Amino acid sequence: MGKIVISENVTLDGVIQDPAGVEGFRLGGWIGRIGDRGREEAAKVALDEALGAEAFLLGRRSYEFLAARWPSRSGPLADRLNSLPKYVVSSTLEDPGWNNTTVLKGDVVEEVSKLKQELNGEIVLAASFQLLHTLMEHDLVDELRLMFYPVVLGAGERLFGETSDKRPMRLLATRTVAGDLAYLTYEPVRDA
CATH of the domain at 113: 3.40.430.10
The confidence score (pLDDT) of residue 84 equals 96
> Would you say residue 107 has pLDDT above 70?
yes
Q: State pTM to two decimals.
A: 0.92
The confidence score (pLDDT) of residue 32 equals 78
The confidence score (pLDDT) of residue 33 equals 76
Q: How far apart are CA 150 and CA 31, in angstroms?
A: 9
Averaged confidence pLDDT in the chain: 92
The domain of 58 spans 2-188
The confidence score (pLDDT) of residue 192 equals 54
Report the half-sphere exposure of 176 (CA within 13 A, side-chain side): 3
Total structural domains within the chain: 1
> Would you say residue 160 has pLDDT above 70?
yes
What's the whole-number mean pLDDT along residues 70-82?
A: 94
Question: Could you tell me what percent of the chain has a pLDDT over 70?
Answer: 99
